[in-house]
């Protein structure tokens, strides 16, 4: 893997890796929220699928997606504690479908370009 | 949970007003979930040190809260390169000359010689005030431009045909050489015809006479003018600077500046005769003119000379380091 090639390039690789993942995280969060979840469990689900995201990124992202009308949220009591549950809105489902098509297109293009 | 409450409260302080309750409730819930999960794993309550470590991992409250705010900046990424360029121009055209004037005063003015520490203190203080005011004004102007939504107009209203031409800094424009030839030629003719005698004017009862110290200055300036004519003629034929011609230009600039500085300090005016002016008052006038010339003009000339010499030195460095450097004008 290029990651372990040279220590000097580790910082650069890390920046590029984060940049690459940033766009994918939106897709991953939206896809995971086809099922209703609250923040903490969403983070765990994403981590289990290899898309770990820190809470400082996740919660502002959830707010942004909600303000854009792609998510809906609801405060509800569970295990005697108030938790905020998120799920994909109808508009979010539509956008997710379009984004997944775009993603598959990018994936196919990359497979063509890469040996 | 005291630490957790304190942390959440600190985050709350930096959050947007309308969202404070909502965000802190969610943050507190997320932290409690994480703490509970760790406690379940360990089979005991977390110690205060462990909770502190967990909170530290989340980051400083101001940083955590900042991620909930939209990105804010005084001068955005589009305008920032122009802002930096304008600051550079301000430093070059305002602060640098200011420093050069001060250095000249240090060198030439007797007051500055005798009160070095006071003068340095005053100069240091006013330099920072000047710098802060200059940078502050530029920053405020750019911040205003940023906020009046100028960016959209700026990005759309431009024409590729109006971009400045690509230029080679080592190439000598034909116009410059022709202008130098003409200007130095006119100067030399005027100098030979009008400035060769110590009596500059003797007409209608008005008489202006220079001191004998004028003669060496006269010949020095004539020699510089003739050398400049020769250099301009060569430059017209060979339109790229070479190392030798660059040095010659530098020498001529220095050779022109030194006699001028010296002249103003040499009490060059010997006599003025005006109708209805007594001899005593005429002498007083001569002394006053000589004194004022000696006080102020050499500094102005020295400042101009320093700027010109620096520009010539930069050209020599460019030639020496073989930076052919085809440069693009500052186009925005």
Q: What is the pLDDT of residues A36-54, one digit of tens each?
A: 999 999 999 999 999 989 8
Instruction: Compute the distance between CA of residue B310 and CA of residue B124 in angstroms, rounded to an integer.
Output: 23
Residue whose pair of structure tokens reads 């110590």 in the numeric block: B198
> Closest partner residue to B58 among A39, A55, A75, by Cβ?
A55
A86 close contact with B: CB closer than 8 A = no
- Residue B327 or residue A28, greater confidence: A28
- Domain boundary assignment for chain A: 24-113
Distance of residue B26 Cα from the nearest chain A Cα, in angstroms: 7
Residue whose pair of structure tokens reads 């700026």 in the numeric block: B154
| DSSP 8-state class, residue B214 | H
The DSSP code sequence of B262-309 is HHHTTT-EEEEE-TT--HHHHHHHHHHHHHHHHHHHHHHHHHHHHHHH
ipTM of predicted assembly, 2 dp: 0.78
Distance of residue B16 Cα from the nearest chain A Cα, in angstroms: 12
Query: How does pLDDT run across B93-134, given as a tens digit for each residue?
Result: 877 777 777 776 666 666 666 777 777 777 778 888 888 999
Q: Estimate to the nearest angstrom the gap between the alpha carbon of B132 and the chain centroid.
A: 14
Query: How does pLDDT run across B252-263, given as a tens digit for each residue?
Result: 988 888 888 788
Token pair recorded at residue B268: 């060059």
Distance of residue A98 Cα from the nearest chain B Cα, in angstroms: 26
Mean predicted lDDT score pLDDT of chain A: 89
Chain B interface mutation, best of A22, A39, A40, A47, highest count of B Cβ atoms under 10 Å: A40
Whether residue A40 and residue B34 make contact (CB cut-off 8 A), yes or no, is yes
Instruction: Using the predicted structure, report yes or no on whether residue B6 has a pLDDT greater than 90.
Output: yes
Residue whose pair of structure tokens reads 């959830």 in the numeric block: A62
CATH of domain A24-113: 1.10.10.10
Sheet holding B206-210, edge to edge: B199-203, B206-210, B269-273
Report the pLDDT value the prediction gives residue B48, as an integer from 0 to 100: 92
Chain B interface mutation, best of A22, A44, A56, highest count of B Cβ atoms under 10 Å: A56
Instruction: Compute the distance between CA of residue B207 and CA of residue B50 in angstroms, rounded to an integer.
Output: 96
Report the pLDDT value the prediction gives residue A8, as an integer from 0 to 100: 56
- For chain A, the distance separating the N- and C-terminal CA atoms, rounded to the nearest angstrom, is 15
């Amino acid at each position: 893997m290029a990651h372990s090639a040279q220590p000097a390039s580790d910082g650069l690789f890390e920046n590029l890796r984060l940049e690459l993942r940033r766009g994918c995280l939106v897709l991953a969060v939206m896809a995971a929220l086809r099922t209703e979840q609250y923040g903490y469990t969403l983070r765990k689900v994403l981590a289990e699928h290899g898309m770990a995201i820190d809470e400082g990124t996740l919660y502002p992202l959830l707010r942004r997606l909600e303000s854009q009308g792609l998510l809906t949220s609801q405060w509800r009591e569970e295990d005697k504690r108030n938790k905020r549950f998120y799920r994909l809105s109808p508009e979010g489902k539509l956008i997710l479908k379009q984004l997944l098509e775009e993603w598959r297109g990018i994936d196919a293009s990359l497979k063509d370009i890469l040996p | 949970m005291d630490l957790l409450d304190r942390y959440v409260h600190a985050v709350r302080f930096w959050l947007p007003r309308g969202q404070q309750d909502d965000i802190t409730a969610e943050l507190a819930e997320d932290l409690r979930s994480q703490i509970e999960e760790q406690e379940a794993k360990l089979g005991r309550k977390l110690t205060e040190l462990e909770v502190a470590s967990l909170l530290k991992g989340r980051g400083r409250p101001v940083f955590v809260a900042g991620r909930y705010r939209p990105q804010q900046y005084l001068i955005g990424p589009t305008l920032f390169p122009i802002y930096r360029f304008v600051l550079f121009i301000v430093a070059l055209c305002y602060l640098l000359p200011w420093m050069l004037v001060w250095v000249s005063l240090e060198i030439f003015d007797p007051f500055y010689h005798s009160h070095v520490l006071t003068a340095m203190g005053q100069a240091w203080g006013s330099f920072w005030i000047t710098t802060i005011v200059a940078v502050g004004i530029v920053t405020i102007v750019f911040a205003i431009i940023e906020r009046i939504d100028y960016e959209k107009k700026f990005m759309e209203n431009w024409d590729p045909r109006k971009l400045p031409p690509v230029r080679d800094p080592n190439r000598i424009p034909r116009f410059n050489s022709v202008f130098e030839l003409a200007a130095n030629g006119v100067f030399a003719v005027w100098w030979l015809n009008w400035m060769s005698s110590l009596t500059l004017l003797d007409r209608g009862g008005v008489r202006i006479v220079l001191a004998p110290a004028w003669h060496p200055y006269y010949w020095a300036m004539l020699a510089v003018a003739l050398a400049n004519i020769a250099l301009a003629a060569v430059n017209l034929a060979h339109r790229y600077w070479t190392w030798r011609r660059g040095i010659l230009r530098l020498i001529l600039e220095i050779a022109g500046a030194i006699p001028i500085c010296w002249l103003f300090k040499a009490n060059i005016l010997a006599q003025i005769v005006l109708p209805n002016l007594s001899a005593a008052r005429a002498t007083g006038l001569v002394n006053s003119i000589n004194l004022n010339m000696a006080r102020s003009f050499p500094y102005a000339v020295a400042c101009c000379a320093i700027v010109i010499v620096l520009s010539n030195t930069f050209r020599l460095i460019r030639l020496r380091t073989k930076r052919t450097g085809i440069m693009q004008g500052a186009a925005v």
